[in-house]
Every structure is written in structure tokens, then in C-alpha cells.
A and B are shown apart, each in its own frame.
Chain A
């Protein structure tokens, strides 16, 4: 074994820039789920190219106008024609929140508990790093992950059009639809961060966040079945992230994304308060 002596006059440690060290490390943990989400979006896009012409010829009017399907998709559709409607069903329906919102909620829920499990939280907070900064950098990383996922989705939609001769996509409204879904992803980060602020185990926190998103999707489905249960719609976050209405019908209630952003902000902020107040566990 090599041995050495410390220099008697070790130079004082110079300051070095911290940058967004925590955010970068946190983002690195999201690589696989975000890449999986992106790959899924591209897979859907490829399928769209193949399915769109056949679907346009199908006579499915009665089926599409049913409340059951509207509940499942998160909006009514009148016909199956065109790439836009196909996108609305397979990418931008309520499935978007369930799938991509689920991914973002999971990685956000995992972000802090993972550092408890891998032992880096204690070590990081024994450095001159405040809990607030630690939390906000993690949250920022999750938001960046959500932005990447949003951009990958739009890229996937664009990619699908390369295989079609006359894509009927209104790009302005597609970006608006994506903006609405991004507001949902923002909500999902806040939800995940809140759960991760007080749950110790990363998988528990991650799956709890996914469970809440899935519960929201179920509320959306059952709430659409009958007027008697329509109140269920309004207490679920998916309701405020319509994909079909803006993409297909170019209609949007503009304050709906605001509800999601405010809710995400509120949840994430409560998580910050909890994280600042609590005793942090070792495992």
C-alpha cells in the first residue's frame, strides 16, 4: 500500500463554482424513464403513420360518441379521419397524463428518497447546501425532464408526419395542446416532489405519485359516465388537461392549465416546507 505524508503547509482550499450540481445529478437519474417515454412517443408516432389511413375509413361514429369512450379518452370525437384525430386518441387523449404524467410523477417522487437510500442526502446536506436549495434543484431537474419529454412528444408527432403525404396537423394548436399537457406534467412534478418530501422509500414515493395520477384518470373515466357523477371530473387533474378539444376542435378554456400550474406549485411548495421541517432518515 502506498503511503505519503501531507505537506506541512497544505495550501488553503480555493473556492470553486458549485453550478447546479444537484440538479445535474438528479437529472442523470431520470435518463432511463425519460428516454423510455420518448421512445414510446416515437413508437406511437410510427404506428400513427401506419394506422391513420385505415382508421379514417372505419365507420365508428356511434362508438366514438359514447360517453364511455369519451371518459376513457377524456373528450368526445365525432370521426376518425386524419392524423390529427389519430394523434388525439393515441397521444394527446387522457392517456398522455396517465403515461407521461405517470413517468414524471414517478421520477419526481423518487428524486429525494433515492438520495436517502443511496446515502448521498446526509453527505450532501453536511456540505454548505441548504435544504431549500437541495429541494429546488431536484424539482428544477424534474421540470427539465418534463420539458424534455414534452419536446420529445412534439418531435414524435413531427416524425410521424414524415411518412404521410397530407398531414392535417395545425401546428399552432398542437403546440397549445402540448402546452396544456406540459402544465399537467408540471402538476405531476409538484405531486411527486410533495410525496418524496415525506416518504423514505423511493419506490413507495414514486408509485404513490403514479397511483394518484391513475386515480385521477379513473375519476375522469367514471365521472364522464353519468351526470350524477360529473363532480368527479372536476376534482381530478386530468379534467384540466384536455388534449382532444384543443388539438381537434381548436377549443380551450384558457384558465384550465393555470389550475394545474397553481396546483403543482402549491403541492411542490408544501413539499418544500415539509422537507425543510422534518427529520431526515438514514434509510
Chain B
């Protein structure tokens, strides 16, 4: 349900702390009804960007708009429509889950219409004081706080941090359901496999600069495919290396393993000249593409070629 009007527009955002430039003029647009991944290594500027969006820190330059509201000038109007989950959910230990939920729904000025569903779905403990909660349980409370008043835009900083695999799965399903209900979700994460599962597009930020904004599908194509082939006749590795699109040829246990970028046609033609006992084709893990973007300009060039 993508529409033309962007939900979030970030333009030339800069944030400096003294001589340190945490964010160096990034620009991006998030469409309404999109799950947008915001990725980068530690210290890349993800949380700084998110905190500028919330106006808890002020940009050195540039603007952020959510549904047309300026993050600095129209803060209150903008905040009526967003839900936020911080990267490190810390809550006052003396309050119970119920008390903290009451507190934040009052601050939101809206009734927590999704509370019952969220508590049941994530199996959230409500009665005990928060100081006894595990990291995962605090994260679940954070999720409830972000979603309970049914905001149009969700800003989630490392939302699955501390959650066990089962709850992560439930959370990812929930995100997809929310997206289907028209919600816009801006998601920062280190868990690349999850980003791959739920996001439509991703932005990758490194050292405060935006490296790329790509559709996940486009990145998947760039990632290429991994092929394992077992021949019935003798084949030299160089024969495979010469095939257009083929790289990283290795041999183990009588099989060749190779990476194919782009079309498979040339490889299939080459294989047809030989006796093939076994052929296995898999999607290359997207994580490798992400990591190349993370690692630096030289690696990035190999992905963007």
C-alpha cells in the first residue's frame, strides 16, 4: 500500500558534537505504509538520526519532516502520530508494567486501544515491579509502549534486542501485520536476517554518511546465488572461473562451490558441456552484501558495480 506522499523526509541532516560529525548530511524518504530498514555498524549515526527525529537532540543542519510536520517546529503535532521504541529500554524499577503503561498512555493523551492484543501476543507481565524484569521482558514492555496507542508511524531502534528467537518471530509477523494495516515503520537493526525478512527498502549508514538506499529485492539480486556442483567428469577450476558472472570458485569433497552474479545462462551453458551429478542453487546470504557496505568504500564498490 505504497503512496506517493512520503511519511518521513530527511533532508541534508547533519549533527556535530564539537569537532566530531556524527551525521554528515544524510537525505532519505520513507514512503507511507513501508517498512524501512536503517542499518549500519555501531557508531554509524543511526541512533543520533533517530533522536534528531524525536527532537531530543537538535540537528546542526538539515530538516526532518514526518507527515509534513517539522520535527523541531511542529514537535507536538508530529509526536501525536508516532510511536517510539528506544534501543536500550530502561524503565523505572519501582513501577509495575501496568503503571508504566498507564503513565505513557496518559502522556500520549490517547487510550491504549491495542494494549489487550499486545499484552496477549507478547505475553507481557504487568503486575510485578519493573526492577525484577529481564532485558527481554523490558523490551516487550517497550514494544507495548510504542504500539499501544496505534500510532501511524513507528520509529524502532533495535526493536528485537534481547528477545528470544520465538518472540522475534512473533514480532516480525506483527510488523508485517501492522504494515498491512497501513503503518509506516522506520526500523534500525543489527539483525540483518530480520531486516531482510520484513523490510521493503533499506538505507545503510556508515560513519555518518548514507552509503546506499536500496530495495531489499535489488540487494538480493546483487547478492547473487551460491551454486554447488558435483561433476561426473574432470573439470578444471579455471574452466569455471572463466564463465561470465562466476567468482569465488572453491573445491571441497569433490564438489565445486561458486558464486554467480546476475544471469545464470552462461553457467548453465558451461555446465551442459559436462556430466553433472548434482546441482544445488541457493540465494547468497544478504548479510554479506550488508557487511560489504559496512566495511568500507573498497568493499562497497564491489557491491555497487
Which A residues fall within an 8 A CB radius of B?
Answer: 1-8, 10-19, 21-22, 25, 117-130, 279-280, 282
Contact = CB atoms under 8 A, between A and B. Distances in A.
Given A12-B150, A118-B91, A21 B120 contact: no
A130 B75 contact: yes
Given A118-B92, A127-B104, A279 B57 contact: yes
Interface stretch (B31-39, B82-90, B247-255, B258-266): B82-90
Interface string B51-63: 1001111100000
B114 A126 contact: no
Interface of B: 47, 51, 54-58, 75-77, 79-80, 82-84, 86, 88-93, 103-114, 117, 120-121, 123, 145, 149-150, 155, 166-167, 170, 177-178, 181
A4 B117 contact: yes
Nearest to A1: B123
> What secondary structure prevails in chain B residues at the interface with A?
mixed
Contacts of B88: 119, 282
Nearest to A9: B181
Contacts of A16: 105-106, 109-111
A101 B43 CA distance: 43
> What secondary structure prevails in chain A residues at the interface with B?
loop
A122 B90 CA distance: 10
A11 B115 CA distance: 12
A124 B90 CA distance: 12
Given A13-B113, A119-B91, A279-B57, A3 B121 contact: yes
Question: What are the 6 tightest A-B residue pairs by CB atom distance, in nearest-first order?
Answer: A119-B90, A126-B84, A279-B57, A13-B110, A127-B107, A21-B106
Given A119-B86, A120-B91, A126-B84, A15 B110 contact: yes
Contacts of B150: 10, 12-13
9 contacts: A1-B166, A5-B117, A18-B109, A125-B55, A125-B56, A126-B82, A127-B79, A128-B79, A279-B58
A122 B76 contact: no
Given A3-B121, A128-B80, A10 B114 contact: yes
Contacts of B83: 126
